[in-house]
Chain A
Amino acid sequence: MTIADTSAPMRRHKLGNVFPAAVGLGSLVAFFVLVELLIQIGVLNRFIIPPPSEIIESFPRVIVEEHVVARFFQTLTECLTAGVMLTVFGVAGGVLMHRFKLLQQACETWIAAMASAPIVLCYPLFLVIFGRSAWTIIMMGFVSALPPVILKTIEGISSTRKVLVNVGRSFNLTPSQQFWKILFPASLPTIFVGIRLGLIFALINVVGVEFLINFGGLGQLINEMAERYDLAGTYAAICFVILVSVLFFMAVEKVERWLTRTD
């Protein structure tokens, strides 16, 4: 094989990484161009969907006049707090329910039912308990996101391959060693699926409750913009919510890779 031949697969590999990302970005740009075009020729109503060009133009205004950075960090902090709480309490809850079968049999069904319930409608109750504060928003995000983390933790531990448990038993592990050295690391990938799902629920509820109680970060900004009928500004604020979501997912992915390190 010649030197040129050996370099070919590497070049293909590099291209292989860049190409999907370029297609993804290109599709997004093509979609915005299409929407812009449909609005400009009057197929889509510009008073319902603002042209993407106007949304882009509104960014500097939203950033400077609406203190979007401070609001962004407020929403981010609320999501982060809810995320940390739901990871700690959700995983611990799942572990406890797996450990005590009676607890699991008694609670698993209604926790699963809770996952699909519109808990956001309970916000008046949370307002009474925590007042019109960030804690109402955080607790709403936390409570509504808890079920998937608990359920996926139970699933992860229960589905640990029996042979791995037997390896632990053959080495005479204590129950605590069996959990920390085998069950927990084996169930981490499934637990992270639960945490990812939980973060989606938490973000939706945090922004939703900010919107509903007109308090706090980006949700409140979206509410205010919508009431002013500033559609371009509303969509620009929504872009920042998407940015929070992207940041969260990147962070969770990094933590998962660091913890599992299987490749």
Chain B
Amino acid sequence: MDSSASVDAILKVDDIVVRFDTPDGILTAVDDVSFGVKPGEFLSVIGPSGCGKSTLFNVIGGLLSHTQGNVSVAGETINGPHKSIGMVFQEESTFPWRSVTDNVAFPLELTGMAKRERIERARHFIKLVGLDGFENRYPTELSGGMRQRVSLARTLASEPKILLMDEPFAALDEQTRLLLGDKVLQIQQELKQTTLLITHNITEAVQMSDRILVMTYRPGKVKRIVDIDLPRPRSSEIVGSEAFGRYVAQIWADLREEASRGMRDEEDHALHQHDGAAS
């Protein structure tokens, strides 16, 4: 664990262990994971499929209970969803029955804010994600990338101390993903938003992060934390730089072994299932 980061961290994850009871026995999804995120920092957690990234996302967001360990925000231990943490999900999560404005105003509505005021606030966040002009549209009238921006604006409207994102652009094409990465960077820099991004995309992680936490394949442990020393403000143009390429290669070297293990494990599992079905 990076102790220098955890001393003044706003989000602290200490010795988290998550085990599931499965028909094949106890499965340890996350094993002894510890790290901290400093205020205003952008930290990405990267790992191969099946390394427990999404489990970690749900634990930090308070949607899943952990077997051991502790998650705290500004010193306060959290045991469930917490107002300081705003979550953006991988799946499309806008409310189809609400317009863009009403979607973004959703968390403000919960606080009892007056309608006029919350619409004004919602418009501010809609503008922030670059969707001005689409305020009265419904999610069915928007593209996948625009819908994810609505989800992002909705979460930002709740003004969380920590923005927690689980592969928010995974379903989008590479070009849209890079451009939305720019947008997230711009917002993060403007709001000085502490952000924790869960991703399996190396380019996305290097493009946006101050540090990248590389996880091992099952059970998910911290393999390494890489400091990304690229100049800010950044944009997607940075992907062409030599330093960027070096970071991508370095992280891929770490991930390759883990991803290969994951692939072999999946193949063994499929073979085992096939043999079981044949006998």
Which residues of chain A have a CB within 8 Å of any CB of chain B?
Answer: 161, 163-164, 166-167, 169-173, 177, 181-182, 185-186, 188, 260-263
Top-3 shortest CB links A-B: A170-B87, A163-B91, A185-B97
Please, which residue of chain B has its CB at the minimum distance from the CB of A173? B110
Residues on the A chain within 8 Å of B61, using CB: 170
B262 at the interface (CB under 8 A from A): no
B86 at the interface (CB under 8 A from A): yes
Cβ-Cβ contact count across A and B, 8 Å cutoff: 54
Which residues of chain B have a CB within 8 Å of any CB of chain A?
Answer: 61-63, 80-83, 85-87, 89, 91-93, 95-97, 106-107, 110, 138, 140-141, 158
**Which of B83, B91, B92 contacts A172, CB < 8 Å?**
B83
**Given the interface contacts A185-B95, A262-B96, does A167 sit within 8 Å of B89 by beta carbon?**
yes
B151–chain A nearest beta-carbon distance, Å? 8
User: Chain A: interface secondary structure?
Assistant: helix
Residues on the A chain within 8 Å of B91, using CB: 161, 163
Residues on the A chain within 8 Å of B82, using CB: 172
Residues on the B chain within 8 Å of A261, using CB: 97, 138
Inter-chain contact A167/B83, CB cutoff 8 Å: no
* Complex Cα gap A181–B93 (Å): 14
Residues on the B chain within 8 Å of A185, using CB: 95, 97
B164–chain A nearest beta-carbon distance, Å? 9
The CB with the most chain A CB atoms within 10 A, among B81, B85, B97, B140, is that of B97
Please, which residue of chain B has its CB at the minimum distance from the CB of A182? B95
Please, which residue of chain A has its CB at the minimum distance from the CB of B96? A262
* Complex Cα gap A55–B95 (Å): 50
**Given the interface contacts A163-B89, A262-B138, A263-B138, does A169 sit within 8 Å of B95 by beta carbon?**
no
A177–chain B nearest beta-carbon distance, Å? 7
Residues on the A chain within 8 Å of B80, using CB: 172
A171–chain B nearest beta-carbon distance, Å? 6
